[in-house]
Amino acid sequence: MEYYPHAIQKKSPFYDERPANEPVSLLVIHNISLPPGQFNTKGIEQLFTGTLNPDEHSFYTQIAGLKVSAHCVIYRDGRIEQFVPFTQRAWHAGVSNFQGRSRCNDFAIGIELEGTDTQPYTNAQYHSLIRLSDSLLSAFPLISCGRIVGHNDIAAGRKTDPGPAFDWGYFRHTLFSKTR
């Protein structure tokens, strides 16, 4: 599966080919809000498409040159935008390690939730994340319950997202009791 049929397709320039013979085997959950703590802005889309205007907000001057992307973003209303095909390598994990393997972007799919570490995510976001994750588990059978992690799990000490506001128990229970 390259594209999620329920996502609005947007094109990021920030991706490349996965290494040859590298199957997708990890799902990484992140959070993002731009400007920090603000929702329903164009900042996330602009960052992932390379069109962020540093004059729009003082924080943007710090990040305007970043070349980052995620496969998908799930907004507060549950809407999903996809920036990178799942078969390609998005640039979301940075310096990372999972079970002794570095460069998690090589074998991971990155999903961003519009949010912060401390503000509860919406029911619409959980619903969309569960539907998307179910599709990804079907398309990429090497992703298992133990291979769905937070950014904090693969970049310990450097990243904290999706944070304590993310309800892992609800997410995992709902995903695996309904679909597996």
Domain 8-179 falls under CATH 3.40.80.10: yes
Q: What is the pLDDT of residue 55?
A: 95
Q: What is the DSSP string of 9-58?
A: E---S-EEEPPTT----EEEEEEE-SSTT--S-SHHHHHHHT---TTS-T
Q: What pLDDT shows up at residue 104?
A: 98
Q: Going residue by residue through the chain (180 aa), what tens digit of pLDDT does each one get?
A: 999 999 999 999 999 999 999 999 999 999 999 999 999 999 999 999 999 999 999 999 999 999 999 999 999 999 999 999 999 999 999 999 999 999 999 999 999 999 999 999 999 999 999 999 999 999 999 999 999 999 999 999 999 999 999 999 999 999 998 644
Active site residue 112: yes
User: Out of 45, 81, 112, 114, which one is annotated catalytic?
Assistant: 112
Cβ atoms of 69 and 84 closer than 8 Å: yes
Q: pTM for the full model?
A: 0.97
Which of 144, 140, 29, 155 is closest to 102 using CA atoms? 155
pLDDT computed for residue 180 by the predictor: 47
Question: What are the helix (H) ranges across 35-122?
Answer: 43-49, 60-63
CA distance 81 to 146: 25
Domain ranges of the chain: 8-179
For residue 89, the model assigns a pLDDT of 98
